[in-house]
Amino acid sequence: MANESPKATWQKVLNTLEVDLSPAVFSTFLKTTTIEKSEKGITTVLVKDRYQKENLELRYYAQIKAALDDITGTKNELIFKVASSLKPKTERAGLGPLFREEKELDVETLKRKAKEAGLAPFYTFANFVVGSNNNLAHAVARAIVDKPGALYNPLFIYSGVGLGKTHLIQAIGNEILRKHQNLTVVYCTGESFMNELIESITEGRKKTFLFRRKFRAADVWIIDDVQFIAGRESTQEEFFNTFNALYQDKRQVILASDRPPKEIPHIEERLSSRFAAGMIARMDPPDLEMRVAILRNKRQETGFAVSDEVLETVASLVRSNIRELEGALLQVVSAAATTGKELNKDSVREILETTNGENTALSSPKKILNAICDKYDVRLKDLKSPTRKAAIALPRQICMYLLRQESQLSLEAVGELLGGRDHTTILHGVGKIENLVKKDKKLAQDILNLSTNF
């Protein structure tokens, strides 16, 4: 639309569509539209209500886009926006002041609503422990529950695995269902979004319509593990359109991922920049105090009869993440139940260090170091030394990788064990092996074989 005003271009689009579409369709859905602006390939069209908006998005998007592309000679995205004389739905909530006091929903109704939204009702704020690692994310989450769509939009939460992303974003969804009974919450994962999209496309137009209707009806859209859609073109396209439609209408969007927007590989720039446009909150691994608090909470929830000493020992041994922490507590409790052993500092340590079951978080670091020295014929002294010779550097990096994976040591602890290296060096080494393992089958097998030794 370089040479003429957006308004003139839009008039041309309307002229074209008037010929293409039936008179009834044209006058119902298009005649009254006006253009608000056209910037960076995104054209914002004003419509009078949500009904019109939905129909244009779901049924006529392709046709309108084709006409616009044709006239401008460029590729365009379209956004339909309800003209601002109408407030967004979240603010129109309720039936006026007289009826503001909503009754608490009963547990069964809440469970049903959670299920419809795709949420697990057991993720709540009540059982989410707040500490220095997650207090920012938690505060933002709370603010969103009070006023969805108003302040932090979109919210993008990221952290390593098992640190509470899913728990927190589902708690937001559950709490909104409880507090704002008129709002529709839709939770999905990047993966389920893609699968549903593909399924709807294979099943035909009607299903695609239903797919869009489901997501575009959301007042609060929560997407977990959004990194999954990276590298998948048509999924990203649909995601982008859904995101824009909701975002423009001031609906709340909440995203969770394992890394910040700009670091998600193979994600389109237009998506990552939108993800980064609101609030970004990182969650870190829990410190000792927080780990103890989480285990106390778990003890209360489950009624496990374990002493503070036991909780503290588990918390000091399992540092990596909260999922492993909970797993370790369960492991200790079940080992005690089957062997009849009394639980104390030493027995807990023994259980966590010697069990080699599937969900064991811990392999002894010493065993890992020994296994590496054996296999690669290097000395422990060399692993700890500054030398960067390839014959030493690679085993050292494998060692870093295994110490992280198998004993769940912190980056700092791995650094210490390997001669006082900096945590960024460890991060780099671990990343390198992670990449290598994906490509190099032999190395992957070697590492697997190695890990049977500890």
Residues forming contacts to ligand ADP in the complex (CB under 6 A) are: 127-129, 134, 159, 161-167, 294, 297, 322-323, 326
Q: Which is nearer to Mg ion, 18 or 258 (CB)?
A: 258
Q: Are the CB atoms for 402 and 372 separated by under 8 Å?
A: yes
Q: Minimum distance from CB of 344 to Mg ion (Å)?
A: 34
Q: Minimum distance from CB of 163 to ligand ADP (Å)?
A: 4
Task: Give the one entry of ligand ADP, Mg ion, none that residue 294 binds, where binding means its C-beta sits below a cut-off of 5 to 8 angstroms depending on kind.
Answer: ligand ADP
DSSP assignment of 245-286 = HHHHTT-EEEEEESS-GGGSTT--HHHHHHHTTSEEEE----
Q: Minimum distance from CB of 55 to ligand ADP (Å)?
A: 37
Q: Are the CB atoms for 205 and 235 separated by under 8 Å?
A: no
Task: Give the one entry of Mg ion, ligand ADP, none that residue 322 binds, where binding means its C-beta sits below a cut-off of 5 to 8 angstroms depending on kind.
Answer: ligand ADP
The span from the CA of 265 to the CA of 286, in Å, is 26
DSSP assignment of 418-438 = TTS--HHHHHHHHHHHHHHHH
Q: Minimum distance from CB of 126 to ligand ADP (Å)?
A: 10
User: Of 52-60, 165-173, 268-276, 435-443, which part binds Mg ion (CB under 5 A)?
Assistant: 165-173
In sequence order, which residues have a C-beta less than 8 Å from that of residue 159 and are 6 or more positions away? 165, 258, 282, 283, 284
Give me the phi and psi of 385, to 5 degrees please.
-80, 165
Q: Which is nearer to ligand ADP, 164 or 415 (CB)?
A: 164
Q: Which is nearer to ligand ADP, 225 or 406 (CB)?
A: 225
Q: Which is nearer to ligand ADP, 300 or 344 (CB)?
A: 300
CA dihedral (305, 308, 310, 312) in degrees, to 10, reads: 140
Contacting Mg ion (CB under 5 A), which of 90, 166, 184, 200?
Answer: 166
Q: Which is nearer to Mg ion, 174 or 200 (CB)?
A: 174
Q: Minimum distance from CB of 225 to Mg ion (Å)?
A: 6
Amino acid at 424: T
Q: Minimum distance from CB of 256 to ligand ADP (Å)?
A: 7
Task: Give the one entry of Mg ion, ligand ADP, none that residue 244 binds, where binding means its C-beta sits below a cut-off of 5 to 8 angstroms depending on kind.
Answer: none
DSSP assignment of 314-326 = HHHH--S-HHHHH
Q: Which residues bind Mg ion (CB under 5 A)?
A: 165-166
